[in-house]
Amino acid sequence: MMAGFGTRGYPRSRGRTWQRTGPDRATLGIIGAICAVAGFFALGIVLGPVAMFCGWQSMGRKWSNDRDVPALVALILGAIDTLLALIALLGAATWGNGLL
């Protein structure tokens, strides 16, 4: 008879087994949306990528999640915010000091 090599007397938990410290996905989506909206007013070159990162992490690094509205808002507004900040920086670097 074989001894139960490597078996346990109780089944492992099938649920969430990783550590629960740190922000969860819903919180990251809300943080990303706040950063995206604040980036339109100040520090868009910094807050835009932060919003995109938070939104992408909140979506679980995939596009198939339909219920995460703050995450999608954070991702899209963060991309727009970053693009506008880059255009403003490029416009300020021209000869005519042009865009703003």
Cα 100 to the center of its chain, rounded Å: 29
Query: What's the DSSP call for residue 12?
Result: P
How far apart are alpha carbons 6 and 15 in whole angstroms?
Answer: 21
DSSP of 55-88, one letter per residue? HHHHTTSSS---S-HHHHHHHHHHHHHHHHHHHH
At 8-60, the pLDDT tens digits run 555 555 555 555 555 788 888 899 999 999 998 988 899 999 999 999 988 88
**Confidence check: pLDDT of 5 > 70:** no
At 63-83, the pLDDT tens digits run 765 677 888 899 999 999 999
Q: What is the pTM of this model?
A: 0.68
Check residue 8 and give its pLDDT.
58
